[in-house]
Structure 1
Amino acid sequence: MEIRWPALDDLNPPATDAEITTLEQQLGVTLPADYVQVLRQHNGQRGLADGLFDGQEFLSTQNVFAQWRIWKGLHDAGEFKALHSSPAAGVRDDWWNPRWIPFTHDGGGNHLCLDLDPAEGGSVGQVIAMWHDAAERTVEGRSFGEWFGRWLTRTTA
C-alpha cells in the first residue's frame, strides 16, 4: 500500500548557494550548518499544501526573510517594548528578537525559530516556539539537527 503525503510533493528544489548567502546577508547572520544542510535538499515549501512540520509551512529562504522582515518592522517601531515573554531557561525575555529566525509559519503569526541569541544556558541555533499572542517561549530542540531528527523519528514511526 502506497501512502501519499501531499506536503512532500509541495517541497521546493534545493536552495542555491546564492539564495543561502543572500538570506544570511539580509538577516545579518550566519545560519547554522545543520539548517543549511536541509535547505540544500529542499528550499522550503511552495505553500500549496498543508504545512510539512506539524501543519506549519517549511519556509523557503525568500519566505524566511519575508516573515523576519515583518517582525523586524514591528520590533523597530517599538511594538513590543511593553510586552514581556515567559521564556524557558536559555531563551531571552523578549517578545521577539531580531536574531530569532523563523523557519516555519502556521499562517497565523506563529513560528518555530532558530535562536541565534540565546540567554545564558541556551545554545546558539536552538529551536524555539514563538507564538504571536502567547508569552511562552519554549525550547523545542537544542539545535536544528536535534529538533529535525526528533521530528523525522516521530513522523516516520
Structure 2
Amino acid sequence: MKFISLLYSEKDIDISEIKVIEDDLGIEFPEEMIYFYLQHNGGVPEFVDGLFGSDGGNWIALALFFSMKTLKSNYLSFIEQKWFPKKYVPFATDQGGNQICFNIITGEIVIIYLDIEFTVEEAIDFLAVDFRGFINSLEEE
C-alpha cells in the first residue's frame, strides 16, 4: 500500500484500542485500514493542495482522515440520523465536508455527498473496491 504522509495525527493507537472500537461499534475494520491507523491515527495530508482520488468522473479533494476516536463518534452520530445507511463507516472527509466511508459488508470505499438534495442512493458514489485501492489511487494535485 502506498505511504501517505499526514500532519497533525492524534496520539498513536495500538491494535487493542482498535479492537475495542470494533467491539463498541459491532463492526470489523478492513485489515489494510487497521495497518494504516497503526501508522497514522488520522491527520491532514501533508501536501498543501491535498490528495485527490477519482470517483469515476469527479475528482475528490481529500481534506482529512479522522482519528479513531473521531471515526467512532462520527459513525455513532450519523447512524442516529435515520437517513444515513448503517453499513457505511466514515473515515475521512473531502474539502466540502462530504464523508468518505467504507462499506462494512463489501469493504468498498464510497463518498456520501451531504450538501446536495439527492436521495440516499443518488448521494453515494463508488471510489474504490477496498481501502488499499483507495489509498493507492490517491495522487498529488
- TM-score, structure 2 as length reference: 0.73
Q: In structure 2, what is the equivalent of residue 43 of structure 1?
A: 41
Given candidates 50, 58, 73, the residue that maps to 2:65 is 58
- Equivalent-residue separation in structure 1 for 2:85 and 2:125 (angstroms): 14
- Equivalent-residue separation in structure 1 for 2:108 and 2:77 (angstroms): 22
Structure 2, unmatched stretches of 5+, are: 52-60, 117-121
Matched position secondary structure for 2:13: coil
Number of equivalent positions: 122
Q: Which 4+ stretches in 1 moved above 4 angstroms?
A: 50-53, 106-109
Q: 2:22 touches 2:28 (CA, 8 Å); kept in 1? A: yes
- Equivalent-residue separation in structure 1 for 2:72 and 2:132 (angstroms): 21
Residue 51 and residue 67 in structure 1: after superposition, are their counterparts in 2 closer, same or farther (change >3 A)?
farther
Structure 1, unmatched stretches of 5+, are: 1-6, 81-95, 118-123
- Equivalent-residue separation in structure 1 for 2:110 and 2:49 (angstroms): 18
The one of the two structures with greater contact order (alpha-carbon pairs below 8 A, sep at least 6) is: 2
Residue 114 and residue 21 in structure 1: after superposition, are their counterparts in 2 closer, same or farther (change >3 A)?
same
Residue 147 and residue 108 in structure 1: after superposition, are their counterparts in 2 closer, same or farther (change >3 A)?
closer
Matched position secondary structure for 2:102: strand
**Structure with more of its chain in strand, by fraction:** 2
Given candidates 126, 134, 139, the residue that maps to 1:147 is 134
- Equivalent-residue separation in structure 1 for 2:86 and 2:98 (angstroms): 15
Q: In structure 1, what is the equivalent of residue 110 of structure 2?
A: 128
Deviation (angstroms), 1:19: 1.9
Q: In structure 1, what is the equivalent of residue 76 of structure 2?
A: 69
Q: In structure 2, what is the equivalent of residue 111 of structure 1?
A: 99
> What is the identity percentage for the equivalent residue pairs of Structure 1 and Structure 2?
19
Deviation (angstroms), 1:51: 9.5
